[in-house]
């Protein structure tokens, strides 16, 4: 049996959700797998989390600095490349300015530089669903640059909850295969996950005592009182509408925009709404009981293993978890890539966005 190890590099690696899934992935015959070679992120807490969980014996393989200051040519040869370039300019919650936001919008280009420098056999690029409509043709520019680097693309909007992830997290994942290779990637079918229990109740149950980052944060009396009026699955606006004058005036939220996640409780019988990395009061995700989720519970919704330890203060850990790719979804996509290279058939579906035939 032919065995093959794909050496993987990452930019914008975050706390390691994609790497965690990729390193667990195997082709169905067990012969093809992935190995960490190098990774980059600019945040010290995030890098510490990645090192301690992904490569504790090789801390020097994580470059903790701004990608704009990295010498791409010195990173080292790779066969596989993953990057979830920053989504601040493309998020539906954010400014949605695309490349007009120079701080974030054009950071995807550093991934193109990696492709041009190392020509890995395959790559994965991940971003929010809002990237499709950000700016004026920005998304097509990104795809054009990836194709020009020598890759055949399969672009699909993955709905995480369809793949057994207990969270309605929708992300665009681009899989690129080197054009000169006779390998065709297919979007893995979600059919086998249709019967999975992805309820929040199941996801947050039985957290072991050894799991770190599981502290319950104290809330103000006003926040606890506000939550007491909100039913499971509701946000504060829905509670106000349902209760009318019975909802205390001093507990109402007076903002110009009504973001659906403001003081929204999980419905225990449904998957969670999207775990986010940032946001002010009321966006921290709330249990169906009257409290905020712990960071470990957020990590559960992102399918991180219970022994995965996050470093930094409460806000830093919350941000890391919200930025990550769900580990289980990453494993499913990388497994499909490995099967594609191993010539192993697997159940697949047509991409819901676009794919290259040539």
User: Which residues form the catalytic set?
Assistant: 87
Name the nearest CA neighbour of 326 among 205, 185, 167, 157: 167
If one counts every other C-beta atom within 10 angstroms of the C-beta of residue 244, the result is 7
Is the Cβ–Cβ distance between 263 and 236 less than 8 Å? yes
Tokens representing residue 88 in the block: 């601040």
Name the nearest CA neighbour of 115 among 89, 91, 146: 146
- Residue 108: DSSP 8-state: T
For 159, phi then psi, to 5°, come to: -100, 105
Answer left, alpha or beta for residue 259, where phi above 0 means left and psi between -120 and 50 means alpha: beta
If one counts every other C-beta atom within 10 angstroms of the C-beta of residue 301, the result is 27
């Amino acid at each position: 049996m032919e065995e093959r190890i794909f050496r993987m590099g990452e930019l914008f690696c975050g706390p390691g959700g994609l790497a965690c899934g990729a390193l667990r992935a195997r082709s169905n015959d067990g012969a093809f797998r992935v190995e960490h070679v190098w990774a980059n992120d600019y945040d010290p807490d995030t890098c510490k989390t990645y090192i301690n969980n992904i490569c504790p014996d090789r801390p020097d393989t994580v470059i903790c600095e701004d990608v704009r200051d990295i010498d791409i040519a010195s990173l080292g040869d790779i066969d596989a490349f993953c990057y979830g370039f920053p989504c601040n300019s493309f998020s539906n919650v954010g400014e949605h300015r695309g490349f007009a936001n120079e701080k974030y919008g054009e950071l995807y280009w550093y991934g193109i530089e990696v492709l041009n420098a190392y020509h890995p056999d395959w790559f994965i690029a991940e971003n929010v669903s809002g990237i499709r409509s950000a700016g004026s043709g920005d998304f097509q520019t990104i795809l054009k640059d990836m194709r020009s680097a020598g890759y055949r693309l399969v672009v699909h909007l993955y709905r995480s909850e369809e793949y057994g992830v207990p969270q309605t997290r929708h992300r665009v994942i681009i899989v690129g295969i080197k054009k000169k290779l006779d390998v065709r990637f297919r979007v893995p079918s979600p059919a086998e996950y249709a019967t999975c229990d992805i309820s929040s109740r199941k996801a947050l149950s039985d957290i072991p005592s050894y799991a770190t980052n599981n502290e319950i944060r104290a809330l103000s009396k006003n926040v606890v009182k506000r939550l007491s009026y909100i039913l499971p699955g509701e946000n504060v606006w829905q509670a106000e509408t349902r209760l009318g004058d019975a909802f205390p005036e001093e507990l109402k939220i007076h903002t110009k925009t009504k973001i659906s996640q403001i003081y929204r409780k999980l419905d225990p019988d449904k998957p969670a709404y999207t775990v986010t990395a940032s946001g002010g009061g009321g966006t921290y995700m709330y249990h169906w009981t009257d409290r905020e989720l712990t960071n470990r519970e957020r990590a559960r919704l992102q399918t991180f293993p219970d022994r995965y330890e996050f470093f930094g203060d409460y806000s830093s850990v919350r941000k890391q978890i919200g930025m990550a790719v769900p580990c289980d979804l990453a494993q499913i996509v990388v497994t499909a890539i490995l099967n594609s290279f191993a010539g192993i058939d697997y159940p697949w579906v047509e991409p819901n966005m676009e794919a290259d035939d040539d």
